[in-house]
Copies of this chain bind each other. A is one copy, B any other.
Amino acid sequence: MKIKDGLMTAVFAGTLAATTNAHAADALPSWNEGQAKQSVVAFVERVTSQGSPDFVPESERIATFDNDGTLWSEEPIYFQLAFALDRVKALAPQHPEWKDKEPFSSLLRGDLKAALAGGKPAVFEIMVATHAGMTSEEFAGVVHTWIATAKHPKTGRLYSEMAYQPMLELLAYLRANGFKTFIVSGGGIEFMRVFAEEVYGIPPEQVIGSSGRLKFEIRDGKPVLVKLPEVDFIDNEADKPVAIQKHIGRRPIAAFGNSDGDLQMLQWTTAASGARFGLIVHHTDAEREWAYDRQSSIGLLDKALDEAEANGWTVVDMKDDWNTIFPNLHKVEPKVEP
């Protein structure tokens, strides 16, 4: 299941080569020298140095990452919502009734704002129509096709090419140092699992997210898992530590987020004894990415930003701390002046 023409393979190969010496400082070439990079490297060296009082055995080197806004972008709308909207369009011919039914009619007219004016129930209707009523395997196939082809409206990149290069390097650096990396995201668990291994190097069993209920059935003599139109778990805020306990069963020693939805995960991770690391990606780069925090409807970062200082969490200033945002694509079409 290859998504992108060897792009990520090349990115990872480069990163892995750079981390053959797991402590090499150039494992993070997209991070500018400065406090953020130093704090990451210092933490990793503390917990991996044999004989250090803060040494942590490999089995306990658990690191958890939020996804939207932490590992890839989340503007102008969550990418999973973009997927859902594309699915509504694709499914519309089979649903003539949607022409007269909100939120679908507004969506199909291209009026996203009107469609989402219905709030959570409207979003739920869209999610049910696009994420339920099929088997888990059918859903994975649909997501796979989308992620391999759909492009972001602003950058023209595949969505998976909007993972942050510095975070890809960080994931690889941690793994090269014996960490097990997990995603703990409000996004859909079955959505993310389709591409997390190829894009982030994180296998399905290390992806944790929100989920709908599943039902085991025998259809035509074959067992299937059917996606029901019911919410099972929303993996956000105070339920992120709950999800970590359910899925991982031990407390991470490092956590990475970007919004108030990650606050409790950062608290849970960093409040215990021993060396602990918390990091917040602060979106400060309106030119290369987006700039938003305390007032944003997506990725609201307010309380967690206040708590960062009190708790000694590292805050990444995307503009200053990262010299690259997205992976460099190998084939860049030259722009031809008309």
A-side interface residues toward B, CB under 8 Å?
Answer: 59, 62, 136, 180, 189-190, 193, 197, 203-207, 211, 214-216, 218, 222-223, 225, 232, 238-239, 241-242, 245-250, 264, 267-268, 271
The number of times this chain is found in the oligomer is 2
Bound CA span A114–B248, Å? 38
Closest to A214 in B: B242
Given A214-B242, A249-B204, A223 and B267 touching (CB < 8 A)? yes
Among B190, B225, B250, B271, point to the contact of A204 (Cβ < 8 A): B250
Determine which residue in A193, A249, A271 has the highest number of CB atoms from chain B within 10 A of its CB, and name it.
A249
Q: Return chain B residues, CB-CB under 8 Å to A242.
A: 214-216, 225
Q: Return chain B residues, CB-CB under 8 Å to A239.
A: 216
Report 9 cross-chain contacts, Cβ distance below 8 Å, ordered by A residue: A62-B205, A189-B249, A193-B249, A204-B250, A205-B248, A214-B246, A215-B242, A216-B241, A216-B268
Bound CA span A76–B191, Å? 44
Closest to A247 in B: B247
In contact, A247 and B205 (Cβ under 8 angstroms): yes
Bound CA span A62–B203, Å? 12
Among B206, B211, B249, B271, point to the contact of A207 (Cβ < 8 A): B249
In contact, A238 and B216 (Cβ under 8 angstroms): yes
Nearest-neighbour CB distance to chain B for A76, whole angstroms, equals: 29
In contact, A136 and B245 (Cβ under 8 angstroms): yes
In contact, A249 and B205 (Cβ under 8 angstroms): yes
In contact, B271 and A223 (Cβ under 8 angstroms): yes
Bound CA span A211–B243, Å? 12
Q: Return chain B residues, CB-CB under 8 Å to A190.
A: 249
In contact, A248 and B204 (Cβ under 8 angstroms): yes
Given A204-B248, A205-B248, A242-B214, A59 and B197 touching (CB < 8 A)? yes
Bound CA span A216–B239, Å? 7
Determine which residue in A62, A193, A207, A246 has the highest number of CB atoms from chain B within 10 A of its CB, and name it.
A246
Bound CA span A251–B205, Å? 11
Among B216, B241, B250, B267, point to the contact of A264 (Cβ < 8 A): B216
